[in-house]
Amino acid sequence: MNRCKVLIAAIAALCLGAGDPENSPFAARRAAVMKKIGRGAALLAGAPETRAYVPFRQDNDFYYLTGVEAPGSFLLIDGGARRSVLFLRPRSLPVEQWEGARLYAGEEARRLTGIEEVLEVSKLEEELRRRSAASTELFVRRLAEETAAASRDRAYQYDVAQEANPWDGRVSRERALETSLKRRLGDGVRLADLSPVLDELRRVKDAAEIARMREASRIAAAGLRAAIGAAQPGQFEYQLAALAGLVFRWNGAPGDSYFPLVGSGPNSCIVHYHDNSRRLEAGDIVVMDYGPDYRYYQADVTRTFPVSASFTDEQRRIYRIVLEAQNAALAQVRPGATFRELNRAARDVIERAGYGKYWLHGVSHYIGMSTHDVGEPVAFEPGVVVTVEPGIYIAEKNLGVRIEDTVLVTQNGHESLSRDVPREIDEIEKLRKSGASDPGLPFRLALPGLR
């Protein structure tokens, strides 16, 4: 094998998560799609090349089924023939010279991906035409794609706004693909929605996904512990975000699950505050909500802590109520439970304490490849991962408290994947005091190998 092929193989091994023997998780997911679509076929477009100097990140659904990070790719799943075809862009020596080797069509790509056939993207229309006569339906995704730091809800709002904008009017990539398919294949092609099929599969995580989410949560814990320990009066909110982000990247997470939310003082009462421009003051409370994107899987963790070494009496009292509410919701997380039950358990605690009017949001959502992950809100089963995040926000006192963890539903109950971040008041105050007495401690704890 020549030097270029060696480089391609090494890059592809990293992109494909080659630690999974023979890419078996991806193959199993494609087989599950085949079972759902019967003798139909499914076509999925990967993310396009980036239009800015930012790292490429594949579309979640495409990565879920292939593990392939090559831009401009397509996947065709043929349910009747029980095989899949991956379409890749042709090799470009200028691109490789400037940006490094990439995966392109050929035997090497077939071997590395485990996908039965790998062709150049120019062959896509020919393959679709050949299969359209034999397939009963062609399934395509109709709901919004998710790429870096994107969740379906946010992406859908963007798509709707762009199409409704009289000065723009662009349609989503999903609608554009449907239009192209009808134009190329004729009105006789029967299109069906692939999104419910993929959403239901993604709702329950397999062992490989759970392993990545466990690591994402470990990295999130390291970043938040560093920020909690390092916070000092006079710092800016963005400096805490920068420290946690450094820890994420140091530990192998190249991106964020979502923009960092670091709200101090009055900003602690803004649920999705992300300007992060205020200077911390003694006596403030900080709500910090931040998680990494680790190999396409997310963590979503929030902690609330004082800028001073200790909580004030009022901060302590509100914090205890929110912690009790979170514990009440966590006690409900088990197979057969529902989002409604978690929400009711947490809200009952907060209302009994007299703070019901300061409740601003629900207590839980799915999490996985996106922070607000896909799937119908049905009864939990083992392998489902959710957040548990009650909060109280008292704007007139500049006092917001939210505590959030990423939680796996297990056979017998649940496992908090983000349990390594302190939740108890005495643990938080101990970390705050340690960081104040030794400013370098958070960095040494968070960045292994740094002297």
Q: What does the pLDDT read at residue 196?
A: 97
The number of beta carbons lying within 10 Å of the beta carbon of residue 45 is: 22
In this structure, the number of other CB atoms found within 10 A of the CB of residue 200 comes to 15
Domain residue ranges of the chain, discontinuous segments joined by +: 3-203, 207-446
Residues 55-97 have pLDDT tens digits of 999 999 999 999 999 999 999 999 999 999 999 999 889 888 8
Q: What pLDDT is stored for residue 19 in this prediction?
A: 37
The pLDDT-based confidence of 424 (bands split at 50, 70, 90) is: very high
Q: What pLDDT sits at residue 437?
A: 67
Q: Given the structure tokens 């023939």, which residue do they identify? A: 81
Token pair belonging to 290: 């931040």
**Per-residue confidence (pLDDT) for residue 449, from 0 to 100:** 62
User: Would you say residue 8 has pLDDT above 60?
Assistant: no
Q: Are 62 and 87 in contact (CB under 8 A)?
A: no
Provide the mean pLDDT of the chain.
Answer: 92
Is 3-203 CATH 1.20.58.710? no
φ/ψ of 202, rounded to 5, equals -70, -20
φ and ψ at residue 193, rounded to 5 degrees:
-90, 120
Distance (Å, whole) CA 72 – CA 200:
25
- Residue 144 predicted with pLDDT over 70: yes
Q: Please tell me the number of Cα atoms within 13 Å of 414 on its side-chain side.
A: 26
Mean pLDDT along residues 368-397: 98
Q: pLDDT-based confidence at 188, cuts 50/70/90?
A: confident
How large is the average pLDDT for residues 149-173? 93
pLDDT for res 1: 41
Assign 130 a pLDDT band (cuts: 50, 70, 90).
confident
- Residue 210 has which token pair? 């759970």
Superfamily in which the 207-446 domain is placed by CATH = Creatinase/methionine aminopeptidase superfamily (3.90.230.10)
Cβ distance 13 to 112 under 8 Å? yes
Inform me whether the pLDDT recorded for 396 exceeds 80: yes
Percent of the chain with pLDDT over 70: 91
217: pLDDT strictly greater than 60: yes
**372 bridge partner residues:** none
| 19-49 residue pLDDT tens | 345 578 999 999 999 999 999 999 999 999 9
Q: Which residues pair with 246 in a beta bridge?
A: none
- pLDDT, position 451: 55
Mean pLDDT over residues 202-216, rounded?
A: 97
Q: What is the pLDDT of residue 445?
A: 63
Span of 124-138, 172-186, 236-250, 323-337 with lowest mean pLDDT: 124-138
Q: Which residue has the tokens 């087989």?
A: 31
Are the CB atoms for 141 and 47 separated by under 8 Å? no
Q: Average pLDDT of 242-259?
A: 96
pLDDT of residue 102: 87
Q: Sorting pLDDT into bands at 50, 70 and 90, what band is 446?
A: low
- pTM (2 d.p.): 0.92
Q: What is the pLDDT of residue 73?
A: 97
pLDDT-derived band at 3 (thresholds 50, 70, 90) equals: very low
Range 94-106 average pLDDT:
88
Both tokens of 60, joined, read 């979640």
Q: Which range among 89-93, 116-120, 232-236, 244-248 shows the weakest confidence by mean pLDDT? A: 89-93
Strands 41-45 vs 138-140: parallel, antiparallel or unpaired? parallel
Residue 273 CA: distances (Å) to CA of 48, 239, 261, 267, 287? 30, 15, 6, 7, 10
Three-state secondary-structure class, residue 370? coil
Q: Which amino acid is residue 434, in one-letter code?
A: S
Residue 10 has pLDDT above 50, yes or no: no
- 307: tokens are 């800028």
CA 291 to chain centre: 9
Largest interatomic CA distance in the chain: 73
* Both structure tokens of 98: 């400037």
Three-state SS at 417: coil
Looking at the chain, the whole-number percentage of residues with pLDDT higher than 90 is 83
**How far, in Å, CA of 122 to CA of 255, rounded?**
32
pLDDT of residue 131: 80
Task: Output 107 or 319, whichever has higher pLDDT.
Answer: 319
**pLDDT tens column, 404-415:** 999 999 999 999
pLDDT of 4 above 60 = no
Q: Beta strands 74-78 and 41-45: pairing type?
A: antiparallel
Of the pLDDT bands very low, low, confident and very high (cuts 50, 70, 90), residue 9 is very low
